Structure 1
Amino acid sequence: MQNPVEHILIVDDDPSNIFLLEELLDLEGYQLQAASSGEQALSLAAQMHPDLILLDIMMPGMDGYEVCRRLREDEVLQGVPIIFLTALDDDDSRLKALDLMGDDYITKPIDTELLLTKISSILRLSRLRQNKARQQLEERSQKQLSAAWTINENLSEKFHLFVPEQYLRRIAPQGLDSIQLGNGIEEELTILFCDIRDFTEIAENQAAQETFAWLNVFFTQMSEAISSHHGFIDKFLGDAIMAVFDRPHHHSADALQAAVIMRQRLQEFNQNCQALGLQEPIKIGIGLHTGVGILGTLGGDRRMDSTVIGDVVNTAARIEGLTKVYGCTAIASKAVIDAIQQQYPDPDYFLLRCIDFAIPRGKQKGIYLYEILGTQEQVLDPGIVQTKDIFEQGLQALNQQQFQSAIDYFQEVLHQNPTDSVSPIHLQASRKKLISSYF
């Protein structure tokens, strides 16, 4: 069945920009409406309920950021996809747009092919989500009518704070009475571990209530980053988080995107750390691994819990521990990267660098490790990204036993970026092996 005509609202104070966009999009068969100010945009959006909004930022009076903020607060319009079209080409502007939950950010002059592709992609994704939501609503209604699934009726929303709905679908397929010890499903998923560095030292210098207060603020921000990318918290482990991403064909990319947002949220958290009673900004380590695990119930006859069991969990935890060794904030295994090549339409969207081939503690097989540096739209480590090619040439030279070349490459990395934490490790190893080669 052919899709209905989709309505796009163009918001720009420059009539020439509106004219060009209307000429371009009219050829694609979209129904168009234009607004030349933020106030007019909000009024038209309330009337037409557009399927997508193309939004300029720099406008007299109400700017695009304020328009986006108000739309996201509107219960009816908050789900409308928004693409920012702007001449602002700096990271702060991009981050602000992402923080306001803009769906994409394109800078002027506009690449028309890129714009059309992104509009088409976002609209398709919006239709899929709407269809999925409609399907879930219909299924939920059928289950309520048949009384086979009564969790939402028998339990308050508080219950879902302790047992995520993703678990309930697996361990209670026919309602609460169907929960049994050992219920579980084996499937491929991605596990994320996040741990706060030097937590014991921080807690020793605070009253317990102070630690409790800022820790809950931190966990809330990290949880939002996880849940907004289709993940859920398996458990809180003191100062650590174990999260599960299980969306079929997307879980690795979801986890990697969540890790990027968690790092961004950490920066925001640390900007207000003193107001929360912390003397210094906190640091975290994030480890990701993709593999097969069983989601189900574990325990005994009198006490059971929902959890994930499998080597994927142990390996993810070990990788998180390696962030301390390499001085990195976030590391993913090659299994995550390989899955993204299949799951994500643009695998180069994520900024990564291979940092080593290592055997995690307690494991027998080595794995390739990749440092997570951000995305094309959200660069978290500009210095590392700038020297990425030189670093990887050094790593290749080291693996090929070209030790002097490796030394030269890693020294150049440190010359350009003295704060790189991984290069000194390989530089020292290269020097030792070069000396050993003479004996």
Structure 2
Amino acid sequence: MNSSHPAYEEEHEHDARVPRILVVDDMPDNLFLMQGLFEDRFEVVQAQSGREALQIVMGKNPPDMVLLDIMMPDMDGYEVLRRIRQHTPTAHIPVIFLTALAGQQDQALGLKMGAVDYLTKPVDPELVLSRVETRVRESTHARRVEALSEKLARHLPPNDWQRLFQGEGQDAIRFEQKRQTVLYAEIANPGTLTPHERENFSAEVEWLAARHMGTVDRYVDCAAVVFFNDPAACIRMAMDVHRNAGELRLRMGIHTGLCEIGTFRNDFLGSCTLIGGETQLAARVAASAAIGSIAVSPETYVTVRDCIAEEAAGCLLTEEFNDADLAQICLTPAPVRGGEHALSSFAGLGLLG
């Protein structure tokens, strides 16, 4: 069976999250100018007052950067920046002042209050664009490093974590945005497993991930997570795991989305992990599955209908969820206990092939 999906790969080859820039100015001509300058590179949002800007910044979809005028009638830029910095969820958002106030004292005050840069009008379009792009890159990288640091702090020994984030290891940290299909497999009763069964579970995940061209995320608590370029390969691995692990009471979720992948070196070996929310989304999909079943999100199902139709022939149950946001279809494979069709010695249920 062909494991590639050319149409899917072509459609999402250049898929990436576009940074969102909020431009705040009470002059429509200035907003028009900034819109034309940034629209080919960023998602541009506009506000014509300080109060409108704060509503956007503190809303459900805050910007990645704010380009802020100072002299505005209802609330000046200094006050807008002060409120952004005092609000914990928005305090990290970089703000650049773009203003007609060109004095050194004005610039010093703006930077002291927490602006990451200070640009003056009349604008130099090339300079403004260069500064904004640089600050967006810096902010994005800093946010990713912080997320990676928080995640790995729970999994690495303190000395390894310190070497990675405070020593020479930080130079090797890299990030990539890529559309991936995430498999989240959890054991319903993990506390009942013996150490030997846990080792078998981990070994089987590693073995099947290599067989199906997936990448194991080894830095997840209480679950196995594997991510794939090819959604169909993810479906097939999930089916293989379930067919050989009935006694472990697994439930699994599969979700496709734009993932942020952090790569680094640990013990001089390359390693990687997912940061961001896609793993959590796959976990929520898994939570909607019955024990012994695989729940598939709508984002994944739309790309793998044909694969699921072929694989579902060996399932005990195929069930569609017509109105569900999390899962569109649920598969329940029949367990295989030994014999010539078993793939491995997973949990003592099969034979080494």
Same fold, judged at TM 0.5 (above): no
TM value normalised by structure 2: 0.41
TM value normalised by structure 1: 0.33
Higher RCO structure, 1 or 2 (CA under 8 Å, sep 6+):
2
